[in-house]
Structure 1
Amino acid sequence: MNALSNLKILDFTTLLPGPFATMQMADMGADVIKISSPSKYDLVLEAEPKINGKSANLLWLNRNKKTLALNLKTKEAVDIVKELVKEYDIIVEQFRPGVMEKLGLGYEELSKINPRLIYCSITGYGQTGPMANKAGHDINFLAKSGVLGFSGRNESGPELYGTQIADIAGGTMNSIIGILAAVNYRHFSGEGQYIDISMMDGALPLNSLPGAGYLAGGELPKREGDLLNGGSNYDFYETKDGRYFAVGSLEPKFWSVLCDTLEIDGKTSTDLSVKDEIKEKFLEKDFDEWVEIFKDKDACVEPVLNLDEVVEDEHIKERGLIVELDVDGEKIKQFASPIAFSKTKQEYKFAGKKIGEDTEEILKSLGYSEDKIKELKDLDVFK
């Protein structure tokens, strides 16, 4: 038995935040059915590269999930969902506010069928407020939240990044936390509830330490004006061959090791008078030379790795953070769950399926006959 083997979830989400959340819960044992229309384009789940016709994103984000193809604009599809809700008492959806209500699948409607229903909606700006119906992506949520207001460089302004910070930290993680908190509440109260997750809301506390200081009456955070955003020697430094090292030597004991290793005389990690000297020192040697030099130094200094190097990294391997799954006889690598349990370990049963692969099996489990399923197919219920 896994940690979440008692949870049954209907997943109506798209793109990254919701699918990532439900995948993590599926890895922990939750019974997840991914419901979508095969004719609806999903920017993430259909992106390149593809392995045997399936997107690598789909193979990852749909991992451990059953899939059900439904055209929710048909009454018959709505009826199927209402039947499923009697047993699958957690819903995660990622439409704009009001869409599920128009389909007849809103919380108020479905909670009448199952009062224990936990219903989580993930949107950009939440269910209320003047921006509730406005479209947005990760870059927009970070901009609106203020995080980008003091991130980046003075000369070039805010900078792009290689991952989806607000989507994951604001959407994925908060929806998991919210759902599990609601499950705990239901455990002792017997009642379900509605959860409103906004990715912009979730990005707001990512202003973190500078933001907390400002709200308490401190100065407005500025680019390269804080300990962790370029206002100290905590930074990236280029090597002779054009690679980079991340230097996080803040505390005196780490700063001392850095200075001794680089043979510089710096008072503290906030002593910006030596920053140019640090830059010059790193430019004297190649990336691999610095890797060897800092390998056993307790200085909070690490190389900026590419994914080729990450996959082969001995620490990553030891922690089991990359797993292999079979896809039509071919082994592919995927990111594992980052949560390590001592007893209820995650299982990676199968890679993600295309939408609709389990449709007949799920409907038959609900009592639908083969003739009825054929009839629904003719009515475009599965398109």
Structure 2
Amino acid sequence: MNMSFEGILSDIKVLDFSTLLPGPLASLFLSEMGAEVIKVERLKFGDEMRRKTPEIDGTNVSFAILNRGKNSIEIDLKNVLQNEKLKKLIKEVDIVLEQFRPGVMKRLGLDYDSIKLINPKIIYVSITGYGQEGPKSNFAGHDLNYIGDTGLLSLSMGNEDNTVVPPALIADIGAGSYPAIMNILLALRKRDLNKEGSYIDISMTDGLFTFMFWALGKGFSKNEWSQNSDYYLSGGSPRYNIYETKDKRYLAVAPIEDRFWNKFCEVIDLNITYKDQKKTDQEIIEKVSSIIKTKTSGYWDKVFKKADCCCTVVKSLKEAVGDDHFVSRNLFSKKVKINDEITLPSLPLPISKQFLNPKTVKSFPTLGEQNKTYMK
């Protein structure tokens, strides 16, 4: 690689008005690909993420990780003079990213129609829970609300005695940040071809339905609409389930295909009646569960590695980070600088290294750190 290479998007400038997770993660992708990202933050307060936990030396770790390599300006968007200075900057940028409720940017004179008058080639991205139009477009919400409203949460949320909040922010990342990045890259390609800007409306709830391809197919084709954990991909099958071991660890068991199921049944010595699934799914789940509980996770780890039938011990996050496989792939080789003495691993992003800025250590911006540079 050319040693002067600074990332595939090193000629792109981004103005990011977003806070918390969906927008900041999207602009982190752009920053890691070399784009110059300018984070626009509220005067004196900044991004709400700055004040959340966990903290090191007064710095929120999540904020530092999500904003590695970015710049920060603090501004009162309602101040006419500051707003005008910002519009001078907008003439120079390629991408505007915002996450306010519909109508807010228009009241500030910073909506797409206003900005494209001074920068016709602008790529303007709005990320919201429900999109720019529709009966719910102005409703407040967070990830849990979005997966609840779209039916995704109802497909697997534990039982009445132990409801489960999903550990991943599926709406924010999978239906917010990722679609934003995909559409931004498409818009850049469109601009290369047609010299035109774009307006991109990212609705996180819209994007969630993609994750339910199997449930939608079942519902639309047979009018059979899945409920809580009643389908083989949501916990209703013995072939795709989680089982407790003798030492209170868990196995992720996923021998969906017959060749894997047969090997799995052979390893645990499952009776032919259960193996051939002549019992109900629930009966088979209970039988398999009773067998798995007789041995420790260490025993099952050893025999299932040898059998290679899609059965693994559930690892803690700490164990996963130290796993030889992930260590060998250098997932955590890049760092974010917290202060002169502390660096932490930066967030691994699913981007080929050939497109990334190669710099290993980068800091995050203090609030308004680059005001003198950009707010002239």
Is this a same-fold pair by TM over 0.5? yes
Give the structure 1 partner of residue 349 of structure 2: 337
1:339 shift after superposition: 2.1
Return the match for 1:92 from 94, 97, 102. Answer: 97
1:332 shift after superposition: 1.3
**CA 1:237/1:144 → structure 2, altered by over 3 Å: closer, same or farther?**
same
- What's the secondary structure of 1:45's corresponding residue? helix
1:39-58 → structure 2 map (5 Å cutoff): 39-40=44-45, 42-58=47-63
Would you say how many aligned residue pairs link Structure 1 and Structure 2? 363
1:33 shift after superposition: 0.7
**CA 1:359/1:142 → structure 2, altered by over 3 Å: closer, same or farther?**
same
The answer to whether the Cα contact below 8 Å between 1:252 and 1:269 also exists between their aligned partners in 2 is: no
- 1:68 lines up with 2:80 in the alignment: no
- 1:283 lines up with 2:293 in the alignment: yes
Q: Which moved more, 1:99-108 or 1:255-264?
A: 255-264
Structure 1-normalised TM-score?
0.89
Q: Which moved more, 1:195-204 or 1:38-47?
A: 38-47
Provide the C-alpha distance between the structure 2 equivalents of 1:4 and 1:269, rounded to a whole number of angstroms. 57
1:120-199 → structure 2 map (5 Å cutoff): 120-153=125-158, 155=160, 159-199=164-204
**CA 1:182/1:216 → structure 2, altered by over 3 Å: closer, same or farther?**
farther
Provide the C-alpha distance between the structure 2 equivalents of 1:70 and 1:297, rounded to a whole number of angstroms. 60
Q: Which moved more, 1:119-128 or 1:261-270?
A: 261-270
Give the structure 2 partner of residue 378 of structure 1: none
The answer to whether the Cα contact below 8 Å between 2:24 and 2:66 also exists between their aligned partners in 1 is: yes
1:223 shift after superposition: 2.2
Unaligned runs of 5+ in 2: none
The answer to whether the Cα contact below 8 Å between 2:73 and 2:367 also exists between their aligned partners in 1 is: yes
The answer to whether the Cα contact below 8 Å between 1:8 and 1:89 also exists between their aligned partners in 2 is: yes
The answer to whether the Cα contact below 8 Å between 1:251 and 1:269 also exists between their aligned partners in 2 is: no
1:325 shift after superposition: 3.3
RMSD between superposed Cα atoms in Å: 2.0
The answer to whether the Cα contact below 8 Å between 1:70 and 1:77 also exists between their aligned partners in 2 is: yes
Return the match for 1:322 from 332, 336, 353. Answer: 332
- 1:246 lines up with 2:252 in the alignment: yes
1:276 shift after superposition: 1.6
1:155 shift after superposition: 4.8
Provide the C-alpha distance between the structure 2 equivalents of 1:270 and 1:110, rounded to a whole number of angstroms. 64
**CA 1:107/1:240 → structure 2, altered by over 3 Å: closer, same or farther?**
same
Provide the C-alpha distance between the structure 2 equivalents of 1:340 and 1:217, rounded to a whole number of angstroms. 41
Provide the C-alpha distance between the structure 1 equivalents of 2:166 and 2:280, rounded to a whole number of angstroms. 27
Q: Which moved more, 1:214-223 or 1:307-316?
A: 214-223
Provide the C-alpha distance between the structure 2 equivalents of 1:25 and 1:55, rounded to a whole number of angstroms. 21
Give the structure 2 partner of residue 260 of structure 1: 266
1:300-311 → structure 2 map (5 Å cutoff): 300-311=310-321
Give the structure 2 partner of residue 11 of structure 1: 16
1:175 shift after superposition: 0.8
What amino acid sits opposite 1:278 in the alignment?
V
**CA 1:113/1:350 → structure 2, altered by over 3 Å: closer, same or farther?**
same
Provide the C-alpha distance between the structure 2 equivalents of 1:81 and 1:138, rounded to a whole number of angstroms. 31
What amino acid sits opposite 2:242 in the alignment?
F
**CA 1:38/1:279 → structure 2, altered by over 3 Å: closer, same or farther?**
farther
The answer to whether the Cα contact below 8 Å between 1:148 and 1:158 also exists between their aligned partners in 2 is: no
Residues 308-342 of structure 1, C-alpha deviation per residue, up to 9 Å, x if partnerless?
1111011111222223333222121232212224x
Q: Which moved more, 1:186-195 or 1:332-341?
A: 332-341
Provide the C-alpha distance between the structure 1 equivalents of 2:46 and 2:73, rounded to a whole number of angstroms. 16
- 1:351 lines up with 2:363 in the alignment: yes
Provide the C-alpha distance between the structure 2 equivalents of 1:133 and 1:204, rounded to a whole number of angstroms. 20
Provide the C-alpha distance between the structure 2 equivalents of 1:44 and 1:258, rounded to a whole number of angstroms. 45
The answer to whether the Cα contact below 8 Å between 1:249 and 1:269 also exists between their aligned partners in 2 is: no
**CA 1:120/1:219 → structure 2, altered by over 3 Å: closer, same or farther?**
same
**CA 1:344/1:268 → structure 2, altered by over 3 Å: closer, same or farther?**
farther
- 1:27 lines up with 2:27 in the alignment: no
Give the structure 2 partner of residue 237 of structure 1: 243
The answer to whether the Cα contact below 8 Å between 2:89 and 2:374 also exists between their aligned partners in 1 is: no
Provide the C-alpha distance between the structure 1 equivalents of 2:278 and 2:53, rounded to a whole number of angstroms. 43
Residues 273-305 of structure 1, C-alpha deviation per residue, up to 9 Å, x if partnerless?
432221112211222332233234321112222
**CA 1:242/1:64 → structure 2, altered by over 3 Å: closer, same or farther?**
same
What amino acid sits opposite 2:132 in the alignment?
Q
- 1:36 lines up with 2:47 in the alignment: no
What amino acid sits opposite 1:168 in the alignment?
I
Provide the C-alpha distance between the structure 2 equivalents of 1:15 and 1:344, rounded to a whole number of angstroms. 25
Residues 206-243 of structure 1, C-alpha deviation per residue, up to 9 Å, x if partnerless?
22212123223441112232111122111111111222
The answer to whether the Cα contact below 8 Å between 2:337 and 2:364 also exists between their aligned partners in 1 is: no
